[in-house]
Amino acid sequence: MTVLVIGAGPAGLMAAETLAGQGARVIVAEAMPTPARKFLMAGKSGLNLTKDEPEAVFSARFSGALPRTPEYFGNREMGPGAVMDWARGLGIDLFTGSTGRVFPVGMKGSPLLRAWLARLAGQGVELRTRWRWTGFQGEGWRFSTPEGTQILRPEAVVLALGGASWPRLGSDAQWVPWLAGQGVGIAPFRPANMGFRIAWSAQMARHFGQAVKGVCLSAGDLVSRGEWVIGAQGIEGGGVYEIASALRDGAEAMVDLAPDLSAAELARRFSAVSAKLSVGNRLRRVLGDPLRAALLMEWGQPLPAEPERLALRAKALRLIHQGPMGLERAISSAGGIMADSVTADLQLRALPGTFVAGEMLDWEALTGGYLLTGCLAQGRAAGLAAAAYLAAARR
């Protein structure tokens, strides 16, 4: 055996494909019964592969401690255009939506994954499922398998075990103490692309499951016009995720319920509505949406009577929440292996010959194709670095 890849998500499978293309023999060990479970779950509502925008703009969408170099976050070898070419090379037809997001025509991730696994098998990559890494044994890598404990001693390793979000799908961060014990620095995991808990009043129950549209959210320097959903436990959805990192880190969030109207115009419209109407009906008449009116009554109390002050309240409504939802419901996670624990080619300083990729590393990005493309790009970078390491060792 030459190279061991631990983790069969997008980063691990891309590392395996890259290594196999460099002539290495590759074994992929996956703890779950089937590979890429989080990838498939993300694709249930439509697999957003990437975002069709210039590479320089795309690379700027990432944050965290990991240096924002093109190799990690999308360049011409594994940026938006390359990801689209790669998917088409697997026989997957794509389309680009009005926002630039790229999806398979069939929307689902399973056809792409099947084609990818078939191509990997044709390259000689061996996938071993139900192989759970359980730490080190001497210089070996110990696994719990259906056949009992197995010890592997590869020439190089790529770790792509995921972060700590959606742990039921396999990214449970159980690897943290084993790497920390080897001297690898690890920042605590935090939820990313997550919803926020709200203690709703009883009056909001009628709106559970409804989408909030046509409003603007802001927190810190982040602004979102995307949709989000009211639920019994709080708020979730793409519009919330776009400001989630700032809100999680302590910024106050504001809601503009009428972003296309000035405060003066909104005040004029409030003034024009008959004072004989109930407060709720006045708000609904002006805002044009019962849900937006409900949010103003929920978070805007006490409501001012003067049209000018009421308009200002609707234009800058404080979003009142009880903190982020946990890692078990987060789309992704922030935190992980610290930047100073890896070299420029994603090799662990404490474990020469071991490379890392994907959500194990301390970075985060928005949903919308950035997360997946980032994982693919890092898998490719780690695979190339591992192949170069092997080549140098054999000279």
Which residues lie closer than 8 Å to 272 by C-beta, 6 or more apart?
none
Query: How high is the pLDDT of residue 66?
Result: 78
Tell me which of 75-84, 226-235, 246-255 is least confident.
Answer: 75-84
- pLDDT tens-digit readout, 168-185: 888 999 999 999 999 999
Same domain, 307 and 340: no
Q: Is the pLDDT reported for residue 114 higher than 80?
A: yes
Same domain, 332 and 216: no
Same domain, 265 and 307: yes
Same domain, 83 and 134: yes
Q: Is the pLDDT reported for residue 282 higher than 90?
A: no
Q: Is the pLDDT reported for residue 52 higher than 90?
A: yes
Task: Please identify, among 283, 318, 353, the residue that sits at the C-terminal boundary of a domain.
Answer: 318
User: CB neighbours (10 Å) of residue 185?
Assistant: 17
Same domain, 40 and 122: yes
Same domain, 24 and 168: yes
CA gap 9, 12 in Å, rounded: 5
Residue with tokens 């302590």: 250
HEC string for 237-302: CHHHHHHHHHHHCCCCEEEECCCCCCHHHHHHHHHHCCCCCCHHHHHHHHHCCHHHHHHHHHHCCC
Same domain, 168 and 186: yes
- Apex 108 CA angle, 15 and 361, nearest 5: 35
Tokens standing for residue 126: 């061996």
CA gap 62, 280 in Å, rounded: 41
Domain that holds residue 243: 196-318
Pick the more confident residue, 150 or 79. Answer: 150
User: CB neighbours (10 Å) of residue 145?
Assistant: 15
CATH number of the domain within which 123 lies: 3.50.50.60
Task: Please identify, among 318, 347, 371, the residue that sits at the C-terminal boundary of a domain.
Answer: 318
Q: What is the CA radius of gyration of the chain?
A: 24
- Apex 171 CA angle, 338 and 88, nearest 5: 95
- Percent of the chain residues topping a pLDDT of 70: 98
Of 233, 227, 228, nearest to 205 (Cα)? 233
Q: Is the pLDDT reported for residue 43 higher than 80?
A: no
Average pLDDT over residues 289-304: 94
Same domain, 44 and 76: yes
Same domain, 164 and 295: no
Average pLDDT over residues 78-104: 94
Task: Please identify, among 264, 284, 318, the residue that sits at the C-terminal boundary of a domain.
Answer: 318
- pLDDT tens-digit readout, 200-215: 999 999 999 999 999 9
What's the count of helices (H) and strands (E) in the chain, helices before strands? 13, 23
3-state SS class at 175: coil
* pLDDT band with cut points at 50, 70 and 90 for residue 276: confident
pTM of the model: 0.91
Q: Specify the pairing of strand 156-159 against strand 3-6.
A: parallel
Number of structural domains in the chain: 2
Same domain, 363 and 245: no
Same domain, 136 and 268: no
Distances (CA, A) of 248 to 84, 213, 318, 365, 374: 32, 22, 15, 14, 22
Pick the more confident residue, 362 or 63. Answer: 362
Same domain, 307 and 383: no
